Amino acid sequence: MSEDEPWTADRLGRALQDRKKRLEAERRAAFLPLGIDAECRWPASRLFHRHSMLGPAWTPILTADEVEALTLDRGYKRYPGADRVALPRPAAPNATLEDAIASRHSERSFADRPVSLDAVATLMRLGAGVTADQEVPRRAAPSPGALYPVETYVFALSVNDLAPGLYHYDALDHAFETVAAPRGREATRAFLPSDLHRAGPALLIALTVAFPRVQMKYLERGYRFALLEAGHIGQNLVLAAAALDLAAVPVGGFWDEPFNDALGLDPDEEAVVYAVIVGHRP
Ligand SMILES: Cc1cc2nc3c(=O)[nH]c(=O)nc-3n(C[C@H](O)[C@H](O)[C@H](O)COP(=O)(O)O)c2cc1C
């Protein structure tokens, strides 16, 4: 490209592409000293995958007593002093498992109609609720070492008998803790791609990982475990939505920083990893 060439839209586009390529080459080169070939297009993931592998030589970092203390401490996320909303325990939906699996599809448009609080409570219970009240209460989704590092939040955008706002699900008490003041449907604009924001879901369920809870025990592998737990909960949620005849889509492509900000999280300690948006079918 000659320096004398006029700055047309085409030239600007090419210059931007060149700059992107240069930055990407610099990014990849930074992984060379860590043993990752500069040709690898996903060096961070390759490095992480290598460093989170297990083998027969793996030994736990915590003692048995420390593991027991961590598992039993019920150190899940809490909002002490927050206003609480007791959730109903509605009857389980009548759909069979086969019906729910067969009718689940990702749906990305929603009717402008509120979802009932009963339906939201059912989603919480079947998605992430307590199913067996033991010394370590067991939940609807499996969890690495029964540590339950995944936390569930709900942006209530249009729910009957529930003020719009951000809530944290307290699984042990099957209740919501109020986290943030009502902001209505605008709440998701900053962190959802605009087509999903405009689709007008009645609620958005955010799944976060409280990293120390699982990584104190499993270190690097704990990150993989936590994502898998979130996937289990996500599947419970979309199947429960299908059983309730609601539309839902799981969302992995959100804007991380404003999403974590909206939840008031320090992303080095706890961060959003998955979300599900839900509403009535159009
Ligand atoms: C981990 C994961 C992340 C996803 N993220 C998005 C997303 O950000 N936006 C979206 O519209 N759909 C998302 N989906 C939904 C997929 O596009 C959808 O599952 C796929 O097209 C198959 O269609 P089905 O769900 O109707 O079977 C995601 C699905 C998964 C499993």
Examine the domain organization and report whether 134 and 187 are in the same domain.
yes
Report the nearest-CA residue for atom 27 of ligand 1. 105
Examine the domain organization and report whether 15 and 140 are in the same domain.
no
Q: How many domains does the chain have?
A: 2
Residue 4 resides in a domain: no
Residue 65 CB: number of other CB atoms within 10 A? 8
Amino acid 2: pLDDT: 65
Examine the domain organization and report whether 119 and 258 are in the same domain.
yes
| pLDDT tens by residue, 39-53 | 999 999 999 999 999
The pair phi, psi for residue 42, each rounded to 5°, is -130, 65
CA distances from 223 to 61, 129, 161, 174 (A): 15, 22, 37, 26
Domain of residue 47: give its range. Answer: 9-51
The pair phi, psi for residue 135, each rounded to 5°, is -55, -45
Examine the domain organization and report whether 18 and 143 are in the same domain.
no
Examine the domain organization and report whether 79 and 20 are in the same domain.
no
Examine the domain organization and report whether 68 and 99 are in the same domain.
yes
Residue 255 resides in a domain: yes
Amino acid 152: pLDDT: 98
Residue 58 resides in a domain: no
Examine the domain organization and report whether 47 and 69 are in the same domain.
no
Report the percent of the chain where pLDDT is more than 90: 92
The pair phi, psi for residue 5, each rounded to 5°, is -60, 135
Residue 140 resides in a domain: yes
Report the nearest-CA residue for atom 21 of ligand 1. 106
**Ligand 1 pocket test: which of 249, 256, 278 has the largest number of ligand atoms within 8 Å of its C-beta?**
249
Examine the domain organization and report whether 36 and 170 are in the same domain.
no
Examine the domain organization and report whether 128 and 214 are in the same domain.
yes
Examine the domain organization and report whether 190 and 274 are in the same domain.
yes
> Do residues 128 and 137 touch, judged by C-beta distance below 8 A?
no
CA of 253 to the centre of ligand 1 (A): 9
Examine the domain organization and report whether 203 and 230 are in the same domain.
yes
Residue 179 resides in a domain: yes
| pLDDT tens by residue, 220-253 | 999 999 999 999 999 999 999 999 999 999 999 9
| pLDDT tens by residue, 208-218 | 999 999 999 99
Alpha carbon 206 to chain centroid distance? Answer: 5
Report the nearest-CA residue for atom 22 of ligand 1. 106
| Ligand 1 neighbourhood includes 88 CB (under 6 angstroms) | no
As a whole number of angstroms, the distance between CA 32 and CA 57 comes to 27
Helix-then-strand count for the chain, H and E: 8, 9
| pLDDT tens by residue, 173-215 | 999 999 987 777 888 999 999 999 999 999 999 999 999 999 9
